[in-house]
Structures are given as structure tokens and as C-alpha cells.
Amino acid sequence: MAGVTRSVLIACTVLTATTLTVTVGAYVHAGAAPVPVVSAASGSSAVPASSAVSATVLPPVNATFDYQIGAAYPPPSGVRVVSRDRQDPIAANLYNICYVNAFQVQPDEVDWWQSQHDDLLLRDSDGDYVVDGDWNEILLDISTSAKRAAIAGIVQSWFDGCARAGYQAIEPDNIDSYERSKGLLGIDDAVAYLELLAPHAHDMGLAIGQKNTTDLGTRGRSAGLDFAIAEECGRYHECDYFTGVYGDNVIVIEYTDTAFTKACSVVGDEVSVVRRDVGVTAPGSGTYRYGSC
């Protein structure tokens, strides 16, 4: 399942073989890969690019978690682990996970990808971009070793930015983009790409998680992934899969009260489980929901 919690798109996206127009806020690029616009929060220690990094540290097991990839805000009392978008600053004195859309293109970065690396965007036999229709995101073309290496070089630079900002782990979203690729990508492509991303994360002192998808079996673990972030595993009866592969190093996010209650009952004593609204909005939004067990 594609990550269902990225902030709600506020514009329509028009896709053709040569153009993709996005009417969201401008995102400025100057020839280089888009990097996190972040700074270390007060009281934290960022990792300079030239400094030796420490060994990776996994998120604390069964610690109170908050999912803030839609908007960053002061975490509720008791939260020890937070996941935020790579362009947001870390939450001081907490364990911070950096959300990176590693397999698809964020709508506000389309112009940069088209102008700098259009050949790395997946196209079908008609020459049209292959798009995740739920989120209007073009898929990255990880179908060959050369393209995987080129895309990994860009995404790895984002990992570096996360490390410099003080993040301790990476959440690479849309590992299962092959399911939306019209058969142009396969699970082997995803695994081969992960095998490029995971070692670099570790080199930067960052843990890296498996985001969703039960299809990998133990191949994600073998590729170097350290923990799991599972959306709606309670709803879809999948939590046992993630704990079977990663033990207690699992974070669960549910978007309905029923599924949240179920996940708390099934795995809430062993792993982190959080209830969020599907738009992952901030307090005061009118749709904000948060709970933990």
C-alpha cells in the first residue's frame, strides 16, 4: 500500500508525455538535487558532513511515537520518537526519523526532476509518465542498475542532509511503487535499490526502516533495513508479519479508531502504536487526531 499519510494535495496535476504542471507553491532549485531545508533544533547536535558518524541507533522499542510527516508541531507530552518530513527541523531531545519519498516524486519537486533528470522518471510504452494516482506522484525509474545508481546518488544526498540536521533514522516511502508501475518495475528492482540506500544510511550513522509492504518477506532485512514503519497493519491483519521480521522494532500507525484498538490489542504491549488522522494534520486543523497505546 502506498503511504497514505502525506499531506493532502492542494492542486490538480496534469500529466502528459512531456509536461507535468503543478500549481502548488514554488520550490526553488539551482541545478543541484533538492536538499532538506532544515536546521538542527535548539539543544540538539547536528552531524557535520565532514565529521565521523557514530554507529546507528534504532528507535527505542515500544516508545510513544508521533507521526508528523504532514506538518511539524510540538509533540504531545510523553512522545519519545517522531517522524517528520526531510525538509522540517528535528524535534529537540527526541529520537527523530526523517521521512524521504525515495521511490516517487513529490509534487513540489516535479519541475526539478523534469529539468535535471527527466530520464530517471518512469514512462510507459506511450511515453507517458507512470503516476501513482492516489497522490499524483511520478514513479522513479529504478528498472536498470545504471538508473538505480543515478537515483540513489540523489536520494543519498537527502540522507546526508537528514544526518546533518540531526535525524537518527530514515523512513523511505513507497518501496512498493512497483505495484503501481504498470508492470514496468518488479520487486527485485526495489530490493536492488534498497541495497544501495541502506549501506549509505548506515555510513551516515542513520538507521533505515521498511515502510509498509509485506511482499518483501525477509528480503528487506537482508538488504540492510533495520526496523519497520507499518501503516494500518492492524486494519489489514498484517502486524504479525512485521514483528516476525523485525521483532519489537516496529512502529504502527492506524487511521481509524477500530483499527487502532485492534492494533493496540494485538501488538500494543510490544511495539509503538499510534492513532493519527489520515491527513497527518497539526493540532487546530479540525481533523487532527492523536492517540497512543
Mean pLDDT of 36-57: 46
User: What counts of helices (H) and strands (E) characterise the chain?
Assistant: 6, 13
pLDDT over threshold 90, residue 213 = yes
For the ranges 24-33, 247-256, 263-272, 279-288, which has the lowest average pLDDT? 24-33
Residue pair 286/262 in contact (Cβ under 8 Å)? The answer is no
Tens digit of each residue's pLDDT (9 = 90 or more) over 257-282: 999 999 999 999 999 999 999 999 99
pLDDT at 34: 46
pLDDT at 128: 98
pLDDT over threshold 70, residue 26 = no
pLDDT at 55: 85
pLDDT over threshold 90, residue 46 = no
Cα–Cα dist 263/87, whole Å: 30
Tens digit of each residue's pLDDT (9 = 90 or more) over 217-243: 999 999 999 999 999 999 999 999 999
Mean pLDDT of the residues in the chain = 86
Confidence of residue 53 (pLDDT cuts 50, 70, 90): low
Question: Phi/psi of residue 228, each to 5°?
Answer: -135, 145
Cα–Cα dist 162/35, whole Å: 9
Those residues whose C-beta lies under 8 Å from the C-beta of residue 188, and which sit 6 or more positions away, are none
Those residues whose C-beta lies under 8 Å from the C-beta of residue 130, and which sit 6 or more positions away, are 122, 123, 124, 138, 139, 180, 181, 182, 184
Q: Which residue type is seen at 49?
A: A
Q: What is the pTM of this model?
A: 0.83
